[in-house]
Structures are given as C-alpha cells and as structure tokens.
Structure 1
Amino acid sequence: MTRFWLGGYGPDMEGDAEGIGFLAVDDGRGPSTLAHRGTAAPVASPSWLAQHPRLDVVYAALEGAGAVQAFARSGEATLRPLGPSLTAGDSVCHLAVSPDGRMLIASCYGDGQVIRYGIAEDGGLVPAAPDRAAVLRAALFGQEGADAEQGASAASDPHPVPAGEEPRVSHAHSAIFLPDGRIATTDLGFDLVRIWRSRPTGLALDHEVVLPRGTGPRHMVHHPSGHLHVVTEYSCEVFTLASARDGRWAPVSATTVSQLAEVGTDFPAELAVSKDGRTLYTALRGSNTISALRVTGAGEAVEPYALADSGVDWPRHHLVHEGVLLVAGQRSGTVSAIDLDERTGAPREVRHTTTAPAPTMILPVR
C-alpha cells in the first residue's frame, strides 16, 4: 500500500479536517484506488507537514494555533504526539528539516518570523530556553550578519512605499536548506529571498535577494543544476536564482508561469520538480489549473509549455509521485491524481479524485 500523510485545515481555520489525515493507494491497483482512510493524529489545523530524514517522525505546523509539534509513527496509519506543541509565530505555514535531522525551520506568515528549533536524538523538538522566549517572539533586525537567538524577522521593506499607501507587512512563507548548509527563505510580503547561516546562537542573515515589488515569492525548489527556482503568488512568475563564486544569490531569469495566467485572479501555490529535473509544475489557484514549465539551458531558465485542469478547487499543494501528479484541493475537499506524459512530462487527464477534509499538503509516508 502506497501511503501519504495529509495536512489540512480544521474548524479553527474554517475547514473540516480533524487532524493529520491518512491517504493511501492499494498496491498494484493504481491511482484509481486513492482514498482518504481516516485521521492519523487528532490535532488542530496541521496545514504543513515535514518528514525527519532518518526517523519515523513527522512535524506539523499548527497554523491557527501558531505552534509546531512532532509526531512519531505508532502504527500503519497512526501517529502519536512526540512531546507537547511548541509556540511558533503568527500563522506558521511552512516547515523545513535540515538534511542531518538536527534542526527545524518554521516560516510564519502572520508576523514574518523565521524560527529555528533544535531536534533531539529521538526526533522530538527542543524548545527555546525560557529566558529567550521573548527574544524568539520579537527579534527584529534588518542588518546583514545580525544574530537572533532562535527566531528572526526583517525590520523593514526594501521597496519604497508609494505616497498614500500603508506600509507593507513581512510574510515569511517557506524555507529550503541549500547544499552548502545555508538556508533560503521567502518573504511574500516584502518580495525577498533571504539567505541565512545557522550559528550556535541562532540564525544570522547572510544576504537578501530583492525581487520586484509586488511579486510575492512563495515557494521554492532547489534544482539539480544548482539553481533555485522561486514561484511568485502575486505576479504569476517563476524567478530563477543562481549563486556566484562569492556565494551571493541573484536572479538570472524570470518567466510567466503560463501565457493564460491572469494576475489578480490566479495565485500560484506549490512548485514541484520532476524526478529527471526537466519539468517544474505549479498550480494556479483561481483558474484551478496545473502549469508545466520546461527547464532549459543549464537550468538557468524555464518556459511554460503545457496547462491542464487540476481536477480540484483551490489547488494548494501538489507533488510528483511515480509518474502521477497528486493535487490537494483545499476548497473542494478533494485530492486528484493526474497522469503525466511519460515522454514530455506534461500533465494529462485527471485519472481519479477522492474526497478529503480541507487538504492543504500531501507528504509521502516513509
């Protein structure tokens, strides 16, 4: 049985999920048997999930509660809390685990914080020391190289605020660990990609990559070529970043996710890469479509080449799994399975759709 943990929104986030869900496909019978098989762990709005690289431990961002929590596998389709939940920032919406399994990075949409947690040998989360709690919640800085005990957020918008407009708000949205050990995070509110170094005392800002005002960088993938592809929620683009010899990242190209995308109506969500690295997939909430983009050259640019129906309403997350694209439809309360062309990677027809409570994220079970 091919299995997945399913993140979702519960009543505190206007959804009907009762906790981390369990999704499965019967082996040998294909995606047509994909079905939601119940709740693996009761918890409020686990909107994003992340897997420990070695242990049967899953981390959940409890978005409505502003907390994070670890869960250990306790059965074929169940998880148990591995310690109590820990306070995060406002509307924590994304988690990333380091390749060595020693730290967790939480991105908080509501207040812009990026918070680092330690991970114990058993996979449990290590809370900040009590005397550092206030610093964790309120560390504000904008200077390169500044340290923050465990959590950090930017103090200022790099773009001038037009006369008569209200100041914008920082919205951290995702994180990814880079091969050199640094951490890249997006700030959707300030149109930034930040590069951090992890130090014994916490996170230190290495440098910032400023994208055009109003783009809204949301999620990222690190491509096998070494480039970083970033999808923007507001401008419907994919920016490709490259690292120079001095270690500083900078944009090298930008591409509209689809010629049919409508800015202000479509809002790209997840960005996923095919196993062979030749194709990127993003979902457009609004038109409820999936756009495929071909990676060109040495990975330094992408171009849209196919658009297909997602089979769901408000496709918040998707992943490529064994030649199929699985898509979580938050508003429709469904998960779809879309066939991918074996030769081109283009999304084809929706093979199957199953009901699921307000799904927001799909995570393969180890």
Structure 2
Amino acid sequence: MRFWVGAYAPATGSAEGIGVLQAGDVDSAWASGPLGMVGTAVAAPGSPSWVAAHPVHDILYAALESDGTVQAYRRTGEARLGPIGSAVPVGDAVCHIAVSPDASFLIASCWGDGRVVRIDLDASGRPSSTPVVAPAATDPFGSTSNGDEIATGATVSGAAVPDLAAAARALREAAGEEFSHLVPAYDAVPETDAETEEARAGVRVSRAHEAIFLPGGVVATTDMGYDLVRFWRPGGGGLRLRQEVALPRGSGPRHGLWHPSGHLYVVTELSREVFVLAPDAAGSWRVISGVPLLGTLEDDTAAELCASRDGSVLYAGVRGSDTVGVLAVRGAGEALQLTALAEAGTHWPRHHVVVDDTLLVAGQLAHEIVSLPLDPRTGVPGRVRHRTPSPSPTRLLPMR
C-alpha cells in the first residue's frame, strides 16, 4: 500500500516536496509490512505540510505552508505528480485543506492569520484563482491578558517537570561535538501557539487549523487561537456562519473528526483533551462531554485525532512526551473513556493514520515514519514493528 507524504521543506524542515511511502506490498490493502520511501513525487519548496485528494480525479491539493498558497497537482505516473496551473494565494501559514464531498470546492485553513478560505473547483478539479475569505472570528473571551506569569517549566500533579529544551542544550554541550548528535532535539521543536510572541505577551490571535465536512452540508472549522469550533453552510460562493461553540479558554481546538454516531470529536492542542460535540433537535451544536489525556505533560501538545476502522476507538497523538492516547467510544458515541497512553515509537508524532491492524505515525522531528501493530481486542498500539527514514513528515494520505 502506498501513501502521499506531506512534509516541511528546508527552512522549516528537510523534505524536497511531497513524498511517497510504501507500506508492505504495493497492491495490498494492508500496511503491516516493511516501510520504505519510494521517493519524491514532486518538488515543492513551499513546504507541502498538508495534502488532500480529489474524490474522483487523480488530483492532489497541497497546502504550501511557508508560501501561504494552495497548489493543485495531477498524477502523471505511478508515483509522480505535476502542477496544475499556478498556486492560489490564501493566507499566512496555510496548514490544512479539506475537499467537499461533491468536489465542488475546497476549504483552506490558515494558522498564521486565522483565515478560512473557500476555493471553488471546476468539473476537472482545477481550482479557481479567486478564493473567497470567510468572515473572521471574534475572540469570545476577549483579547486582554489575565496577568498570569508564564513559567518555563510545567507542573503535573504537583511535581516539577524540567524544561526539556534547556536540558537538551546542556546535555549537548556537555557531550561535545563527537556525541552531541545522540541527544534528542528537544530544543528544536517547532513553535506552537502557546510559545508565540503574542501568547507570551498575553495577546490572543485567531488561528484557523482544520475544516471538517459534516452530513447535511454543514462545515465545522477549528480556531485554536480563539478556542472556537465554528459551523458554516456554503452559500453565495462563500461560507455563511451558522453557529460558534466556545471551548474552554486556552484549550486550543486543533483537529477533529465526525463519527457515524452523529457526534463531532475535537482534540485540543494546548489542554490535551478530546471534546464531544452534538447537535440538538433544532440542529444547534453544543459540547456534551470531554475527557483529558491523563498522563501527558503540561508542555505537551496534541496533534492528530483519528479513529479505528469500526469507529470504536480513537487515537490522539501527543508531541513532547511522544505518546498516543487511546480512547474507547462509549454509549451511543456521546462519551469517551481513556483506556491507555501508549508510546508513539517516534519523536514528535505530527500525524497518524489507522490502516486495519496498523497505526502509521509520522515522526516529524525524528525524520521517520513508523508502524505499530494494534491489539485486536483493546486497540492499544504495541511496539514499533517497522520504521523508515522520511524527511520532516507531517501528513500521511493513502493513495487510491
């Protein structure tokens, strides 16, 4: 089985562009076999950190994060891509793309300036050159600082947790040039929303992060800067805001997924929780429950959220302590229970995906992709089964 691999290019990473991963046999629907990078499908120096596929045509859309653009690519060979037209400008640090189920448009989310942008697609999948920016978010908590001092360390259950970046720098210096490369690069982690200059100064900034298509034509978007989940309906060539749901201040909703039970699950990057949202009889969404990823550290950041094949288990990646939260879906989907906090098997698990009995994890700062077997009874990941070098991987997308 093969996957498109989104990644960071030099300046923020080390990839040449969109890569191709092979997991097991090429024609197999399983991903439990040995891993290997086939090569680079197309050069993309603008950092294609997220890629999304057209549901019908052999077309891939890439969020070129450092360029602030969206570029369409057509498949020109088994593992090759070629650009379609010019890149479309959308906004600062575009980090996510979602294509509508009917393939009539896509939505780009911009972490840098909070923009949510609609780009129409023609019948062949070619994007319009005139994107439409949705109404900007407003902070439901206000934008002033509460005056709390920001510490360099964290506390978990009353115990002091060291500053890993400072410790890594000290160890590297003590180890000397010959052995410094053996020290984990905890001082080279990417800047998160909690560490930006604005956050340190107590200023809250809108940071759109993902769009999720829900049944009935509704679109949900996350704003981790303003702690919002926003609900939209397409209309008039753009997006019409229908409702906003505020999560706890400072939680940082990042990614989510719609569950067949009718619930929307959202993982928060900063507070490391998973919230359950549901609509009432009138279609108005609200938070009905939530569960913390107990055992994670306060300076950890959650990343991706995905589900098992049957939807009974959720997997939440956590960067820093490099773990995966395993959550069982309870009742009719309205409740979640944390059943395990497993080792991710790699450093800085930026993205992960479940393929049958295997969890594939992109270790962004380890520059590798690993596979972990999933226990058929509990769904808990085991030890790393296979790994392969892969430069700055940030997204794993199965090929059709």
TM over 0.5: same fold?
A: yes
Q: 1:241, 1:75 → 2: CA distance? A: 42
* Aligned-CA RMSD value: 1.4
Q: 1:156 aligns with which of 123, 128, 138?
A: 138
* In 1: Cα distance, 2:11 partner to 2:86 partner: 19
- The residue number in structure 2 matching 1:209 is 245
Structure 1 counterpart SS, 2:66: coil
Q: Which residue of 2 aligns with 1:141?
A: none
> Any unmatched runs of 5+ in structure 2?
148-200
1:239-263 deviations in Å (ceiling 9; x for gaps): 0000111111100001012x21122
Task: Please list the CA deviations of residues 17-41 of structure 1 after superposition, one character each: whole Å capped at 9, or x if unmatched.
Answer: 0000010124269634211111001
Please show how residues 319-338 of structure 1 align to structure 2 within 5 Å: 319-338=353-372
* Partner SS for 1:180: helix
8 Å Cα contact 1:24/1:36 also seen in 2:
yes
What residue is the counterpart of 1:83 in the other structure? 85
8 Å CA contact 2:121, 2:127 repeated in 1: yes
List per-residue Cα deviations over 1:290-327 (Å, max 9, x = no partner): 11100101100111101221111100000001210000
The equivalent of 2:114 in structure 1 is 112
Counterpart check, 1:193 vs 2:229:
yes
Kindly provide the amino acid, as one letter, of the partner of residue 103 in structure 2: G
1:12 is displaced (CA, Å) by 3.4
Q: Find the counterpart in structure 2 of residue 16 from structure 1.
A: 14
- Give the CA deviation at 1:121: 1.3
State the TM-score, normalizing by the size of structure 2. Answer: 0.83
AA partner of residue 23 (structure 1): L
Larger Rg: 2
Question: Which residue does 1:275 correspond to in 2?
Answer: 309
Residue of structure 1 equivalent to 2:41:
40
User: Any conservation in 1 of the 2:308–2:356 contact (CA below 8 Å)?
Assistant: no
- Alpha-carbon separation, structure 2, partners of 1:305 and 1:6: 30
* Alignment check: 8 A CA contact 1:326 1:338 kept: yes
Structure with the higher strand share, 1 or 2: 1
Distance 1:121 1:176 in 2: 22
Residue 55 of structure 1 corresponds to which residue in structure 2? 57
**Residues 1:219 and 2:219 are matched in the alignment:** no
2:297 alignment counterpart = 262
Question: Structure 1's 30 and 319: CA in aligned 2 closer, same or farther, altered over 3 A?
Answer: closer
**Per the alignment, in what secondary structure is the counterpart of residue 11 of structure 2?**
helix
In the alignment, does 2:240 pair up with 1:238? no
Farther off after superposition, 31-40 or 326-335: 31-40
Aligned length: 342
Contact 2:53 2:99 in 1 (8 A): yes
Paired-residue identity, %? 51
Specify the code of the residue in structure 1 equivalent to 2:272.
C
- TM-score scaled by structure 1? 0.91
Which amino acid in 2 is paired with 1:282?
A: A
C-alpha separation in 2, matches of 1:201 and 1:42? 32
Distance in 2, matches of 1:231 and 1:153, equals 24
| Cα distance in structure 2, aligned partners of 1:217 and 1:234 | 8
